[in-house]
Amino acid sequence: MAHGWEMQHDDRVVVIGQDVGANGGVFRATAGLQAQFGKDRVQDTPLAEATIAGMSVGMATHGLKPVAEIQFMGFMYPALDQIVNHMSRMRYRTRGRLTCPVVIRTPHGGGIHAPEHHSESTETMLCHIPGIRVVCPSSPARAYGLLLAAIRDPDPVIFLEPVRLYRAMRQEVSDDGQALPLDHCFILREGSDVTIVTWGAMTIETLRAHGELESQDISAEVIDLATLSPIDSETILASVAKTGRLVIVHEAARNVGVGAEIAAIVAEHGLYDLHAPIQRVTGFDTVMPLFRLEHDYIPSVQRIVDAVQLTLAD
Partner 1 sequence: MSTVAEFKIEYKQILNSRGDVVAPLPAFTADAGEVLRMYQAMTRVRVFDAKAVNLQRTGQIGTYPSSLGHEATHVGVGAAMRPEDVLAPVYREFGTQLWRGVTMAEILLYWGGDERGNDFARPAHDFAWCVPIATQTLHAAGAAMAFKLRKEPRCALAYIGDGGTSEGAFYEALNLAGARALPVVFVIVNNGWAISVPVAAQTATRTLAQKAVAAGIPGVQVDGNDVFAVREVVGEALATARRGGGPCLIEALTYRLSDHTTADDASRYRGAQEVKEAWALEPLIRIREYLFKTGAWTEAQEHALLQDCTRQVDAAVIEYLSTAKQSTDAMFDTLFAELPQHLREQRATARKYGAKPSGH
Under the rule (CB under 8 A), what is the footprint of partner 1? 18-19, 21-24, 26, 44, 46-51, 74-75, 77-78, 113-118, 254-255, 284-287, 289-294, 296-297, 300, 302-303
- The string of DSSP codes covering 264-301 is HHHHHHSGGG-SS--EEEEE-SSPPPPGGGHHHHSPPH
241: number of Cβ within 10 Å: 15
Q: Please tell me which residue in 118, 250, 275, 295 is annotated as part of the active site.
A: 118
Least distance from C-beta 226 to partner 1, angstroms?
Answer: 27
Least distance from C-beta 172 to partner 1, angstroms?
Answer: 25
Least distance from C-beta 246 to partner 1, angstroms?
Answer: 19
Q: Please, what sign has the CA dihedral across residues 51, 52, 54, 60?
A: positive
62 a catalytic residue: no
Least distance from C-beta 194 to partner 1, angstroms?
Answer: 20
Per-residue DSSP letter, 183: S
- Pick 78 or 230: Cβ nearer partner 1: 78
- Pick 116 or 214: Cβ nearer partner 1: 116
End-to-end CA distance of the chain: 49
Distance separating alpha carbons of residues 59 and 151, to the nearest angstrom: 14
Least distance from C-beta 290 to partner 1, angstroms?
Answer: 4
- Those residues whose C-beta lies under 8 Å from the C-beta of residue 185, and which sit 6 or more positions away, are 197, 223, 224, 225, 226, 227, 232, 235, 236
- Pick 184 or 303: Cβ nearer partner 1: 303
- Pick 216 or 302: Cβ nearer partner 1: 302
- Pick 148 or 201: Cβ nearer partner 1: 201
Distance separating alpha carbons of residues 149 and 184, to the nearest angstrom: 12
- The string of DSSP codes covering 196-222 is EEE-TTHHHHHHHHHHHHHHTT--EEE
> Annotated active-site positions, please?
118
